[in-house]
Amino acid sequence: MRRTPKDSAESSRRITRRGLLLGGAQLGVMGLLGARMRYMQVDQADEFRLLAEENRVNIRLIPPARGEIFDRNGRLVAGNEQAYRIVITREDAGDVDAVIDRLSRIVKLDPDELEKARTEMARSAPFLPITLADRVSWDDISRVAVNAPALPGITPEVGLSRIYPLGKDFAHVVGYVGPISDYDLERMEEPDQLLRIPRFQIGKVGIESKLEDNLRGKAGARRVEVNATGRVMRELSRREGQPGANLQLTIDHMLQNYVQARMGDDSASAVVMDCQTGDLLAIGSSPSYDPNLFVRGISVADYKALTENDYRPLASKTVQGTYPPGSTFKMVAALAGLEAGIITAEDTYYCPGHLEVGGRRFHCWKGGGHGHMNLEGSLRESCDVYYYELALEVGIERISDMAQRLGIGVRHDIPMSAVAQGLAPDKAWKKEIRGEDWLIGDSVNSAIGQGFVLASPLQLAVMTARIATGHAVSPRLLKSVDTVEQPDGRGPSLGLNENHLRQVRKAMYQVSNNRRGTAYSNRIAEDAFRMAGKTGTSQVRNITAAERARGVTRNDQLPWNRRDHALFVNFAPYDNPRVAVAVVVEHGGGGSTAAAPLARDITLQALYGDDPPLTAYPEKDRGRIRSQQERLRALRPADESSAKSRA
């Protein structure tokens, strides 16, 4: 059918309306899309530019301030100081050699550090900053800033560095920090991400190492924008970290300084322990070293001098060193016999100068013998034969048990490196470790602290404190963490017969205060501070029958490393024990001549808290002591008021 003009006009109008509606809808959608595209591409361009590539926004860790360490009186022992350094970024420097050459004309560069920096640059990404000079002065920083246009890629920086203001005095206790190594990371199961910061420093030895988790703190973080090569373009946000905990030690820095100065350059160690609380008031090894050298990067020459020194300055002898305790062990054997009911204080053994056991002759230090000896006399004059006879009756098992009860052969829990366990041997130990049966001669040797018996100076101090108090006192080195007091070392009763303890203490008193005592010449003259002690001399070589026949060679005629170790232990005051002291002088000769004078002086210094009056010493020693006090006073650290202390 043919359409009329009217129908055609109506159809045209309908098509036009639909086109307009459809066109309008399309225009609306396109407008919305355009507006959205403008919003995303213009208004939010920066945000979406960063989000476009996830690796363009990085999280960088901020190292926290390391916790500080103080002595018992608030004196700073290990702290942080601002340190300036100069770094170079290779990609910004261009001609690195030319830039370094210009820098060397402005500030002095250490050749060793420069060589280390070149090695690091060769194996590092070009955008990483490499240290050229550390611990530079503010003047150097200023000169670099002024000449910045001529030094592309060179940047002065400021950060925190560890410092040990008391130097050698606390080296063996606190230890030192150093850059974390691959070896350090391999030993950790799940290393903190903070440890992956280049050149991040951690504790290497001592308290710095043992309490690393407390001292390190928690890392902060900053959100940064980086370019395609990984270089930081700008910082987007920042969250500061949590500083490490501050630690307070039980050590008195003035007493510690005195101990170190009094030992001088001898290969020696000394421990001063509070008899009641177990607080370690001083714990020193000699010779010592400056831990600051390790923080700053010790030179090859300095390190070689430390490692090749026969006196082993890097070793913490107070806890790492174990020695035959010699006659200082005789109190252990005596208490074992008394507690077992095998002897009484009045029982005697006869000493002709030796004892035949199993076809072997065991000698007393006094060739002519001591005659009849009871408990008091045997300790006062250190008769060996008395303890040979005692060992045959008491047996090694009881002696070993008593040794462990008194702290020998026990690894004490203090935060120092390589704390030794020592050894209180018995039959089972020898069978397991050496595959041999225990011999009766082994018991004889053990009773006088020779043979297999080994003890550290720390263990000898613990033994002495336990004898003095009758309680299981344990050593404490950490007094507080962020002002929170830590448990002290007061222990329960040892369960020993108090009368037996009194008899041993009385005999120790005679050692120092009876004219026949082996330490009488090194007694304390002040009645209120009289000490009870015991000398010890431990052999480090065998004396042959031929040598005994022609006369035993004196220690001063032997090479240093073949001389006997000298030991002394004591507590004071006798009537009210406050401190226990143990001293070991390696290859020092006799305990009465090398160790006892040192222990007496340290004991008096601990009791008085300062230089004792000369009247505290025997009259014959006062002139020498006056000169000694003047010499040691000059070695003391600056007055506390000039040092940084805890608020």
Q: Which residues are catalytic?
A: 327
3-class DSSP assignment, residue 427? helix
Query: What CA–CA distances, in Å, run from 312 to 48, 285, 337, 457?
Result: 63, 10, 38, 16
**DSSP secondary structure, 276-325, as one string:** TT-BEEEEEEES---THHHHH---HHHHHHHHT-TT-TTS-HHHH--B--
3-class DSSP assignment, residue 178? strand
CA distance 20 to 429: 105
Select from 440, 458, 433, 460 the least CA-distant residue to 449. 460
Tokens for 528? Answer: 């209120």
3-state helix, strand, coil in the chain (%, to 5): 45, 20, 35
CA distance 518 to 535: 7
Task: Say if CB 376 and CB 504 are below 8 A apart.
Answer: no
CA distance 338 to 341: 5
Task: Say if CB 519 and CB 596 are below 8 A apart.
Answer: yes
User: Which CB contacts under 8 angstroms, 24+ apart, belong to 76-79?
Assistant: 76/165, 76/643, 76/644, 76/645, 76/646, 77/164, 77/165, 77/166, 77/170, 77/174, 77/249, 77/253, 78/162, 78/163, 78/164, 78/170, 78/174, 78/208, 79/162, 79/163, 79/165, 79/644
* Bond into 243 cis (ω within 30): no
**DSSP secondary structure, 7-57, as one string:** HHHHHHHHHHHHHHHHHHHHHHHHHHHHHHHHIIIIITHHHHHHHHSGGGE
Place of tokens 């006799």: 590
Query: What CA–CA distances, in Å, run from 222 to 22, 59, 66, 237, 391?
Result: 53, 6, 19, 6, 69
> How many beta carbons lie within 10 A of that of residue 122, not counting itself?
9
Phi, psi at residue 459, to the nearest 5°?
-65, -35
**DSSP secondary structure, 68-105, as one string:** PEE-TTSBEEEEEEEEEEEEEEHHHHSSHHHHHHHHHT
* Bond into 287 cis (ω within 30): yes
Task: Say if CB 402 and CB 587 are below 8 A apart.
Answer: no
Task: Say if CB 281 and CB 579 are below 8 A apart.
Answer: yes
CA distance 487 to 484: 10
CA distance 36 to 51: 17
3-class DSSP assignment, residue 168? helix
13: exposed, middle or buried (C-beta count within 10 Å: 0-12, 13-18, 19+)? exposed
Chain centroid, CA 455 distance in Å? 19
Q: What's the number of CA atoms in the CB half-sphere (13 Å) around residue 6?
A: 0
